[in-house]
Structure 1
Amino acid sequence: MTRVGIVGGTGKLGRDIVKMLIDHKEISIGAVVTRKGSSFVGKDLSTLTDNGIAGVVIEDELLGTGDKCDLYMDCTSADSFLDNYDAYVENKRPVIFATTGFEPVHMDKIQQLAERVPVVVCPNFSIGVYKFLKLIKLAAVEFGVSADIDIIEYHHKFKKDKPSGTALAIADALRDSGFERDITMHSVRAGNIIGEHHVQLTTDDNERIEISHKAYSREGFSKGVLETIHWIMQKEEAGLYGIGDIFR
């Protein structure tokens, strides 16, 4: 059985992943790590779920959990990763980054970690989003040479980063297709919206093409998380990987 260490497991994303994995038959939760000073430290994992006693005590120290985990899923923040970097190096386990908001200084450190262990940076675990990015690249080649492009993304009101990691991945996909003009991003944070992304290509001929992806539940997210865990456990060589490597 694959044992996953969830770093940042008491946050919104971390809790979603904990609840998804708690009763999985082939994947278990080896450790849950939260920030120092958290009221969850020392409590049983069941305090995050509706399940009975899980037998996993929530910790505030990542270093030393390597014997309990086969890989880690980081659900913290970009700056928290910098604080955890040395522990990841010491524990020598693959790492999946489920968070976003990385600046160049963070990506430099992630690249250094990827020289030691397999690392996946995945701003969105939806398989549909991967296909969405492929469609966007095609649209950019066909229509984007002289178009104005807007990216509009919607998420729940608790999501902190603006724009989202997925919106940034959309912009990267457009630029990879040769689009060189400015791309305008619009971020909405409201209610309990799971996630919506729209790309508008407006031409000088007064035509607009819109491509959208909407998530109506977290089922696609859950499947993507499981596939990513299975995928990285098959990687024996260190390296930095993304959504395209997993869902290709």
Structure 2
Amino acid sequence: MEFIMIRLGVSGALGKMGARVLSLASQDKDFRVILALERLSHPQIGEKIAGAEVVCDREMIKDIDCLVDFTAPEAALINIEYCLKFKKAIVVGTTGFLQEQKDRIDAASKKIPIVLSPNMSIGVNLLFQLVRDTAVRLPSDYKINITEAHHSHKKDAPSGTAKFLAQIVKEERIEADVDIKSIREGEIVGDHEVVFDSPWDTIKLSHSAKTRDIFAKGALEAARFLVKKKSGIYCMEDVLKKGKNGD
């Protein structure tokens, strides 16, 4: 069978995450970087990154197989509209969507394949599973608290990951009150801790990211997964199952 490289585009190309996705993709034989999207006002428009010129022209989405989005909710929704226009897959790593915006993404997924995840890290997605299992098994005496810490430039708080962790707990323990504490300081890549506390003991489940590359690698795995899929909305758990099964 002839090997065909995935033609990749990244929106938010010069942001902290987008730049890492482009860097790793340029070193990966499965990908050919075609598009580096940024806002019109960005001072580096016209420069080259990972072999692609930084542009603000969304019409160029027509030339790619999959777009990876690390922007902001409104920008991500515009990108999804263009992916709909050109029938292209999109990996959405952007967080902070309102419910109405999530509904629009869900509607788009009826026509194109979309991976939507609050966190692209394999380790964090394992944390999701561990928290769910723990919430199911422990009695109701346990109080649950979540602490998340990120760099001072992160705009949304709590993080999308922390909100999803709280959602997991609520799905298994409807009556549970989950407190979330957010910390924004320095250059913290991303720390999440879920504490199950009782009068008798304390259980702590945590994940600490050392580098943004773990999220970038996950986004590329999602792109590999998505270009072979029909329309639908997928999560990182779907991507990881594919990797485990090798199909």
Q: Is this a same-fold pair by TM over 0.5?
A: yes
The equivalent residue for 1:238 is: 231
Per-residue CA deviation, residues 64-105 of structure 1 (Å, 9 max, x unaligned), is 4312x1110111110112333432221210000011001112
* Greater relative contact order (Cα < 8 A, sep 6+): 2
The equivalent residue for 1:63 is: 59
The equivalent residue for 2:98 is: 103
Q: Decide whether aligned partners of structure 1 residues 64 and 218 sit closer, same or farther in structure 2, where only a CA change above 3 A counts.
A: closer
- Distance (whole Å) between structure 1 residues aligned to residue 139 and residue 222 of structure 2: 32
Question: Structure 2: which 5+ residue stretches go unaligned?
Answer: 242-247
Q: Decide whether aligned partners of structure 1 residues 34 and 190 sit closer, same or farther in structure 2, where only a CA change above 3 A counts.
A: same
CA contact (8 A) 1:64 1:91 kept: no
State percent identity of aligned pairs.
30
SS in 2 for 1:65: helix
- Aligned counterpart for 2:25 among listed residues 21, 26, 36: 21
Question: What is the letter of the counterpart of residue 207 of structure 1?
Answer: D
- Distance (whole Å) between structure 2 residues aligned to residue 219 and residue 38 of structure 1: 23
Aligned-pair Cα RMSD in Å? 1.7
CA contact (8 A) 1:73 1:97 kept: yes
Q: Which aligned pairs between 1:155-234 and structure 2 lie closer than 5 A?
A: 155-203=150-198, 205-234=199-228
Q: Which aligned pairs between 1:145-160 and structure 2 lie closer than 5 A?
A: 145-160=140-155
Equivalent pairs counted in the alignment come to 237
The equivalent residue for 2:245 is: none
- Aligned counterpart for 1:89 among listed residues 76, 84, 89: 84
Question: What is the letter of the counterpart of residue 193 of structure 1?
Answer: I
Question: What is the letter of the counterpart of residue 228 of structure 2?
Answer: Q
Per-residue CA deviation, residues 150-169 of structure 1 (Å, 9 max, x unaligned), is 10011122211111111111
- Distance (whole Å) between structure 2 residues aligned to residue 144 and residue 81 of structure 1: 40
Question: What is the letter of the counterpart of residue 163 of structure 1?
Answer: P
Question: Structure 1: which 5+ residue stretches go unaligned?
Answer: 47-53
The equivalent residue for 1:50 is: none
